[in-house]
């Protein structure tokens, strides 16, 4: 049973001016699966390593189960970590790898063997217990890394991009397995990835990070439907949300000559902000009589969906992405795009923060 | 969709590769100069040595040179001094290599961590390896171990040791100390390479798994270092077993033959005693013994080095 | 445009919590102090004999032969004067010649050999490598007799070229092994890329491979030079007056003068100095070479 709380946690890389993680406040509930996601260098891995005890907590604190981890070495934190490159012990067999932590904690041989066998059964590794890591495939090694963590029944799982070295198909497979496993074991998990699809599908809640700062911490649906700022809006969702420059006018919002009228509540909240960013997802645009003139550049065929990429015919030349069906325009065509004003998002262009709920 | 063309089963004729043989020679060509040179300069003399070993030949009495078959070898095996120097050689080599490796591992562990002035300390530590062996031997014989004026005795004076005559009372040990001093840097550097080639995330994983530093060293680092240690021991042994300079300079094998090793003893026979035939026979015996030991040793390093460890 | 919306908000480091509190840093466990002390103590201990040798070389004999070793004394260059006026230079010239020429020869022979054994593997690679290393295992003493006699019969005794040949022979196996390990570090993709770019073998070798292996070549050259300069056994037996090298000089300095500590310290310092300096300056190469390219 463990809650994990980051309180103003900060970490500086040696010799750096700006912190890698700056004043992070995050509260993970017991048994929750939290994903930290963001672009490279956003601090997500550092934040995870601070929790594991592999990076110093320079300011603030991190609490596990109410206990402050400042000054506590990794080995005393009861955390199991799955590394990006698996970090399996090369001179030991799979069984010895998985039993290592138990050995270090003085668990006797029989108990160790029993727990290793249990975990091996869960992960389909029973036939490999006597093999050395160098004789395993990538996917098998990944499972051993997971097994090593599971065997320990720790307070917290820390996972550092464990799927990034797998091929695409295996990644999708393993993703569901990990999520299932976590649901069954109910162990608090902090998971780091740069892949927002992984984040959205696996996490109970997702923490979006950028340049060391937390952008938003909410459920995947909340992030998708109500991004807290422009960055989150553009980061979550693939293809990315369209973001257009806009200005406030008495009649509505002008996006490069065309005026759109959002719902009254949003219009009301937008008063006082002169420079705006209007966000609209590709699936909330439609082709037909509408607001924008767009020249089609290319069409992505994903089998189930088609995404039309084009640029605005006016002098802004901004890229626009529309989701279309089988009957879609061809590259080079000029089309008109209609904005579903009920589904648009509004952000202040200066602060980037969301306007309205 | 075009219809699949019907498959034609064609008869595959094995095309003769006329240049296969030439290819082989092209590949081998760069090897040859080095190989040929080495064979001429090392193997021929050895064959000649074998020939000489079958003769009774003293350089002071050139006329008396004649074929005696294996009698030199009999003399060698009956020679108690040969046996003694063989034992000396084993003790000297084994002791030097093992102690140098143990100290080398310890020093490598120190140098693996950051501390102020680490680069300078490393420079200081590799210096003994660079010193000319005769120079180093001379150094130890005079300024270090001399019974009256040597610094070692000076340092030991408060412990009541004072005027100990190292070179007469502990000649073998004195030579060993000098060789350990010279060879520790080599061991240290090899082990340091091993330490630095260990992926850091494995050590982190062990840390999160609850292992204390000593356990990490014992369970993970030492197995990783094994092939480096083996290489160091084998390579070091090759050089140390052949050591001549230290014995020559420090003790001349004495007193008696208590610090003589096989190279020095053979040298004595050949160049001081001018007994070519006998010396040759001894040389051959040493060579055969070395080959036997070396075959086992080399199999070991090839096995550990060609099977590259892959960090999972 | 999306880009401008991005760039406007890029600098603000948006947070859901308010930034702007002072930057505090907790003290870290920095460089280990105890380990540093241990390191320095051991370093000085190991270096001490060398230090003592250099110190002694600046003393007079009287100062060197004191019951309590003197650390504070007024230095003199008289020992060095003696050393330099004892006909040192021909020995240095011989050593330099033998070292440089034999090292060049070794590189010339070992590089293509190592290349063949690594990048274009020949069938009997393991056997050839074994053979090379086995030549080092044969005690030199076994070979010295016929070599001496052969040299004598060919009137090549006391000839610097004999030394060159011998030094090449003793360093070649190690050079082949070291160079091979460096060649093995060349990524296969580099060769394939060169092949795709249409480069013939010789050009691939010079323009693609050699630059990558250059540090390795330097390391090998350094190791061979160290062994050649410091070599004594062959030198003392094969040379006499014309081709004598520095180690022989050093030993000769003793027998004719007796055991005078200060003088010998000066002679030893002079004799060992070039190699020590080379090793210090090219430390990285030395370390690389000695670790057989294991450290990147």
Contact with chain B for residue C125, Cβ under 8 A:
no
Count helices and strands in chain A by DSSP H and E runs = 9, 20
Q: Which residue has the higher pLDDT, B171 or C289?
A: B171
Q: Are residue C111 and residue C187 in the same domain, yes or no?
A: yes
> Chain B closest CA to A139's CA: distance in Å?
11
Report cis status (omega within 30 of 0) of the bond before C149: no
Mean pLDDT of the region B12-39: 71
Q: Are residue A218 and residue A271 in the same domain, yes or no?
A: no
Mean pLDDT of the region C73-84: 84
Chain A stretch 25-44, residues whose beta carbon is closer than 8 A to a beta carbon of chain C: 25
Q: Is position A356 within any domain? A: no
Q: Are residue A64 and residue A196 in the same domain, yes or no?
A: yes
The torsion angles phi and psi of A281, rounded to 5 degrees, stand at: -75, 150
Q: Is position A354 within any domain? A: no
Query: Look-up: residue for tokens 């007024």?
Result: C74
Q: Which domain holds residue A129?
A: 4-234
Q: Is position C90 within any domain? A: yes
Nearest chain A Cα to B310, which residue? A134
Q: Do A352 and C16 touch (CB under 8 A)?
A: no
Q: Is position A129 within any domain? A: yes
Q: Do C23 and A19 touch (CB under 8 A)?
A: yes
d(CA A131, CA B238): 35
Q: Are residue A176 and residue A140 in the same domain, yes or no?
A: yes
Q: Do B204 and A91 touch (CB under 8 A)?
A: no
Q: How confident is the model at residue B310 (pLDDT cuts 50, 70, 90)?
A: very low
pLDDT in the model for residue B178: 94
Q: Are residue C147 and residue C262 in the same domain, yes or no?
A: yes
Q: Is the pLDDT of residue B3 over 60?
A: no
Q: Are residue A82 and residue A191 in the same domain, yes or no?
A: yes
- Count the domains in chain A: 2
Contact with chain C for residue A280, Cβ under 8 A:
no
Contact with chain B for residue C33, Cβ under 8 A:
yes
Q: Is the pLDDT of residue B13 over 60?
A: no
Q: Are residue A48 and residue A117 in the same domain, yes or no?
A: yes
User: Best residue in C44, C146, C278 to probe B by mutation, most B CBs within 10 Å?
Assistant: C146
Query: Look-up: residue for tokens 């890229």?
Result: A319
Q: Is the pLDDT of residue B110 over 50?
A: yes
- Point out the residue among A23, A58, A230 whose CB comes nearest to the CB of C25: A58
The candidate with the shortest Cα–Cα distance to B205, out of B191, B224, B193, B220, is B220
Q: How far apart are the first and last CA of chain C?
A: 46
Q: Are residue C37 and residue C122 in the same domain, yes or no?
A: no
When the candidates are 2.30.42.10, 3.90.870.30, 3.90.550.10, 1.10.3720.10, the CATH number that belongs to B79-311 is: 1.10.3720.10
Q: Are residue A222 and residue A146 in the same domain, yes or no?
A: yes
- Residues of chain A whose pLDDT is less than 70? 1
pLDDT in the model for residue C296: 29
Q: Are residue A220 and residue A87 in the same domain, yes or no?
A: yes
> Per-residue DSSP letters for A267-320?
HHHTTT--EEEEEE-GGGEEEEEEEEEEEEEEEEE-SS-EEEEEEESSTT--EE
pLDDT in the model for residue C120: 65
Within chain B, where are the H helices?
20-28, 31-38, 44-53, 71-78, 80-112, 118-130, 133-139, 151-156, 166-169, 171-196, 200-208, 213-216, 222-241, 245-250, 262-267, 276-306
Q: Is position C76 within any domain? A: no
d(CA B246, CA B259): 10
C13: left (phi over 0), alpha (psi -120 to 50) or beta: left
Neighboring chain A residues of C19 at a CB cutoff of 8 Å = 22-23, 213
pLDDT in the model for residue A77: 92
d(CA A98, CA A114): 11
- Count the domains in chain C: 2
User: Best residue in B205, B216, B229, B304 to probe A by mutation, most A CBs within 10 Å?
Assistant: B205
Q: Do B204 and A81 touch (CB under 8 A)?
A: yes
Q: How many CB atoms lie within 10 A of CB B209?
A: 29
Q: Are residue C185 and residue C228 in the same domain, yes or no?
A: yes
Q: Are residue C51 and residue C86 in the same domain, yes or no?
A: no
Neighboring chain C residues of B53 at a CB cutoff of 8 Å = none
Q: Do B135 and C295 touch (CB under 8 A)?
A: no
pLDDT in the model for residue A16: 84
Q: How far apart are the first and last CA of chain B?
A: 45
Q: Do B34 and C110 touch (CB under 8 A)?
A: yes
d(CA C269, CA C288): 26
Q: What separation in angstroms does the CA of A322 have from each of A46, A237, A259, A286, B8? A: 36, 13, 19, 7, 49
For A251, residues 6+ apart whose C-beta sits below 8 A from its C-beta are A259, A261
Neighboring chain C residues of B262 at a CB cutoff of 8 Å = 139, 141
The domain limits of chain B are: 79-311
Q: Are residue A74 and residue A30 in the same domain, yes or no?
A: yes
Taking only the tens place, the pLDDT of each residue in B211-244 is 999 999 999 999 999 888 988 888 888 889 888 9
Contact with chain C for residue A9, Cβ under 8 A:
no
Q: Are residue A169 and residue A225 in the same domain, yes or no?
A: yes
Nearest chain B Cα to C117, which residue? B31
Q: Is position C66 within any domain? A: no
With a pLDDT cut of 90, the percent of chain B lying above it is 32
DSSP B158: G
Residue A229, beta-bridge partner list: A353
Nearest chain B Cα to C130, which residue? B298
For A291, residues 6+ apart whose C-beta sits below 8 A from its C-beta are A255, A258, A260, A336, A337, A338, A339
Q: How far is CA B265 from the centre of its chain?
A: 19
Q: What is this structure's pTM?
A: 0.83
Mean pLDDT for chain C overall: 80
> Chain B closest CA to C9's CA: distance in Å?
36
Q: Are residue C113 and residue C230 in the same domain, yes or no?
A: yes
For C11, residues 6+ apart whose C-beta sits below 8 A from its C-beta are none
Give chains near A: 3+ CB pairs under 8 A. B, C
ipTM score: 0.83
d(CA A278, CA A280): 7
> Chain C closest CA to A112's CA: distance in Å?
34
d(CA A112, CA A101): 9
Contact with chain A for residue C6, Cβ under 8 A:
yes
For A238, residues 6+ apart whose C-beta sits below 8 A from its C-beta are A196, A197
pLDDT in the model for residue A161: 95
Q: Which domain holds residue C93?
A: 82-290
Q: How far is CA A187 from the centre of its chain?
A: 19
Neighboring chain C residues of A215 at a CB cutoff of 8 Å = 14-16
Q: Are residue A67 and residue A189 in the same domain, yes or no?
A: yes
Give the count of alpha carbons within 13 A of B219, CB side only: 24
Chain A stretch 201-260, residues whose beta carbon is closer than 8 A to a beta carbon of chain C: 210-217, 228-231, 234, 242-245
pLDDT in the model for residue C14: 41
Q: Do B283 and C142 touch (CB under 8 A)?
A: yes
Contact with chain A for residue C28, Cβ under 8 A:
yes
Q: Are residue A159 and residue A278 in the same domain, yes or no?
A: no
- Point out the residue among A86, A104, A136 whose CB comes nearest to the CB of B209: A104
- Point out the residue among C8, C21, C23 whose CB comes nearest to the CB of A349: C8
Contact with chain C for residue A329, Cβ under 8 A:
no
- Point out the residue among C4, C13, C26 whose CB comes nearest to the CB of A58: C26
- Point out the residue among A12, A23, A352 whose CB comes nearest to the CB of C14: A352
Q: Is position A290 within any domain? A: yes
Q: Do B131 and C133 touch (CB under 8 A)?
A: no
Q: Is position C252 within any domain? A: yes
Taking only the tens place, the pLDDT of each residue in C8-48 is 334 333 433 344 445 556 666 656 788 889 999 999 999 99
- Point out the residue among A80, A84, A133 whose CB comes nearest to the CB of B312: A133
Q: Do B208 and A74 touch (CB under 8 A)?
A: yes
Q: Do A58 and C28 touch (CB under 8 A)?
A: yes
Q: Is position C77 within any domain? A: no
The torsion angles phi and psi of A62, rounded to 5 degrees, stand at: -125, 125
Chain C stretch 57-86, residues whose beta carbon is closer than 8 A to a beta carbon of chain B: 64-69
Q: Is position C148 within any domain? A: yes
User: Best residue in B210, B212, B304, B310 to probe A by mutation, most A CBs within 10 Å?
Assistant: B210
pLDDT in the model for residue B175: 93
Mean pLDDT of the region C207-232: 89
Q: Is position C157 within any domain? A: yes
Q: Are residue C117 and residue C53 in the same domain, yes or no?
A: no
> Chain A closest CA to C22's CA: distance in Å?
11
Q: Are residue C241 and residue C138 in the same domain, yes or no?
A: yes
Taking only the tens place, the pLDDT of each residue in C111-163 is 888 888 886 666 677 778 778 877 877 777 777 888 888 888 888 888 899 99
CB A82 within 8 A of CB A161: no
Q: In what order do the strands lie in the sheet with A242-249?
A: A258-260, A252-255, A242-249, A275-280, A345-348, A354-355
DSSP three-state, residue B228? helix
Neighboring chain B residues of A152 at a CB cutoff of 8 Å = 209
Specify the CATH number for the domain of residue C178. 1.10.3720.10
Nearest chain B Cα to A149, which residue? B209
With a pLDDT cut of 70, the percent of chain B lying above it is 87
pLDDT in the model for residue B303: 64
Q: Is position A175 within any domain? A: yes
- Point out the residue among C165, C246, C290 whose CB comes nearest to the CB of B190: C290
Q: Is the pLDDT of residue B302 over 70?
A: no
Q: Are residue A192 and residue A259 in the same domain, yes or no?
A: no
Mean pLDDT of the region C219-238: 92
């Amino acid at each position: 049973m463990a809650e994990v709380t980051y309180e103003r946690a900060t970490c500086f890389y040696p010799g750096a001016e700006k912190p890698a993680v700056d004043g992070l406040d995050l509260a993970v509930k017991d048994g929750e699966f939290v994903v930290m996601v963001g672009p490279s260098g956003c601090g997500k891995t550092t934040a995870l390593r601070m929790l594991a005890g592999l990076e110093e907590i320079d300011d603030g604190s991190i609490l596990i189960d109410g206990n402050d981890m400042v000054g506590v070495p990794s080995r005393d934190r009861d955390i199991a970590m799955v590394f990006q490159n698996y970090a399996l012990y090369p001179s030991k067999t799979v069984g010895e790898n998985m039993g290592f932590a138990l050995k270090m904690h003085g668990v006797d041989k029989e108990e160790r063997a029993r727990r290793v066998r249990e975990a091996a059964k869960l992960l389909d590794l029973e036939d490999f217990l006597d093999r050395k890591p160098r004789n395993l495939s990538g996917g098998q090694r990944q499972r051993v890394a997971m097994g090593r963590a599971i065997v320990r029944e720790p307070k917290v799982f820390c996972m550092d991009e464990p799927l990034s070295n797998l091929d695409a198909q295996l990644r999708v497979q393993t993703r569901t397995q990990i999520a299932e496993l976590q649901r069954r074991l109910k162990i608090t998990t902090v998971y780091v990835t740069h892949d927002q699809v992984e984040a959205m599908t696996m996490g109970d809640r997702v923490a979006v990070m950028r340049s060391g700062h937390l952008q938003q911490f909410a459920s995947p649906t909340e992030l998708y439907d109500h991004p807290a700022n422009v960055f989150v809006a553009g980061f979550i969702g693939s293809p990315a949300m369209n973001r257009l420059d806009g200005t406030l006018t008495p009649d509505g919002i002008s996006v490069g000559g065309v005026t759109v009228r959002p719902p009254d509540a949003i219009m009301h909240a937008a008063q006082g902000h002169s420079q705006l960013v209007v966000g609209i997802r590709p699936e909330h645009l439609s082709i037909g009589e509408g607001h924008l003139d767009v020249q089609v550049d290319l069409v992505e065929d994903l089998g189930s969906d088609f995404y039309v990429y084009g640029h605005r015919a006016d002098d802004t030349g901004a890229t626009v992405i529309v989701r279309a069906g089988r009957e879609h325009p061809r590259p080079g065509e000029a089309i008109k795009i209609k904005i579903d004003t009920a589904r648009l998002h509004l952000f202040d262009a200066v602060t980037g923060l969301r306007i309205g709920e | 969709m075009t219809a699949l063309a019907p498959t034609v089963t064609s008869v595959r004729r094995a095309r003769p590769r006329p240049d296969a043989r030439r290819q082989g020679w092209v590949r081998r060509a760069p090897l040859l100069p080095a190989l040929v040179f080495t064979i001429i300069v090392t193997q021929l003399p050895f064959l000649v040595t074998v020939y000489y070993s079958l003769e009774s030949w003293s350089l002071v009495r050139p006329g008396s040179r004649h074929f005696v078959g294996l009698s030199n070898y009999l003399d060698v095996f009956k020679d108690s001094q040969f046996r003694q120097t063989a034992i000396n050689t084993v003790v000297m080599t084994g002791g030097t290599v093992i102690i140098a490796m143990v100290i080398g591992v310890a020093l490598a562990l120190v140098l693996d961590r950051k501390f102020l002035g680490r680069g300078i300390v490393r420079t200081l530590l590799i210096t003994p390896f660079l010193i000319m062996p005769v120079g180093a031997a001379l150094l130890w014989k005079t300024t270090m171990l001399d019974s009256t004026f040597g610094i070692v005795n000076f340092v030991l004076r408060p412990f009541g040791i004072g005027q100990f005559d190292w070179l007469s009372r502990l000649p073998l040990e004195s030579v060993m100390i000098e060789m350990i001093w010279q060879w520790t840097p080599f061991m240290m550097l090899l082990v340091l390479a091993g330490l630095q080639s260990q992926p850091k995330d494995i050590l982190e994983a062990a840390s999160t798994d609850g292992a204390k530093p000593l356990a990490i060293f014992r369970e993970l680092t030492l197995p990783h270092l094994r092939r480096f240690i083996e290489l160091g021991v084998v390579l070091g042994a090759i050089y140390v077993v052949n050591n001549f300079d230290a014995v020559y300079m420090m003790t001349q094998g004495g007193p008696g033959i208590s610090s003589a090793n096989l190279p020095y003893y053979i040298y004595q026979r050949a160049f001081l005693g001018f007994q070519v035939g006998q010396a040759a026979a001894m040389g051959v015996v040493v060579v055969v013994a070395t080959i036997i030991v070396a075959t086992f040793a080399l199999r070991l390093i090839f096995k550990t080095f060609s099977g590259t460890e892959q960090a999972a | 445009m999306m880009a401008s919306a991005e760039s406007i908000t890029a600098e603000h480091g948006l947070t859901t919590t308010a930034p702007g509190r002072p930057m505090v840093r907790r003290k870290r466990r920095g460089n280990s102090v105890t380990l540093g002390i241990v390191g320095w103590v051991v370093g000085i201990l190991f270096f001490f004999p060398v230090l003592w040798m250099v110190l002694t070389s600046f003393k007079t004999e009287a100062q060197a032969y004191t019951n309590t070793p003197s650390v504070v004394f007024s230095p003199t260059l008289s020992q060095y004067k003696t050393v330099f006026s004892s006909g040192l230079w021909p020995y240095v010239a011989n050593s330099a010649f033998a070292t440089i020429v034999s090292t060049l020869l070794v590189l010339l022979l070992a590089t293509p050999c190592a290349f063949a054994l690594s990048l274009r593997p020949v069938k009997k690679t393991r056997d050839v490598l074994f053979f090379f290393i086995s030549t080092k295992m044969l005690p030199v003493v076994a070979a010295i007799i016929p070599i001496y006699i052969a040299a004598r019969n060919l009137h090549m005794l006391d000839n610097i070229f004999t030394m060159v040949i011998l030094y090449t022979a003793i360093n070649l196996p190690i050079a082949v092994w070291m160079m091979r390990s460096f060649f093995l570090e060349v990524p296969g993709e580099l060769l394939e890329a060169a092949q795709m770019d249409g480069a013939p073998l010789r050009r691939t070798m010079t323009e693609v491979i050699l630059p990558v292996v250059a540090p390795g070549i330097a390391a090998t050259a350094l190791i061979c030079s160290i062994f050649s300069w410091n070599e004594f056994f062959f030198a003392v037996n094969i040379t006499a007056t014309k081709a004598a090298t520095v180690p022989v000089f050093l030993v000769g300095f003793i027998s004719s003068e007796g055991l005078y500590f200060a003088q010998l310290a000066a002679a030893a310092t002079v004799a060992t100095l070039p190699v020590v300096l080379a090793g210090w300056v090219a430390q990285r190469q030395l370390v690389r070479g000695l670790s057989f390219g294991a450290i990147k």
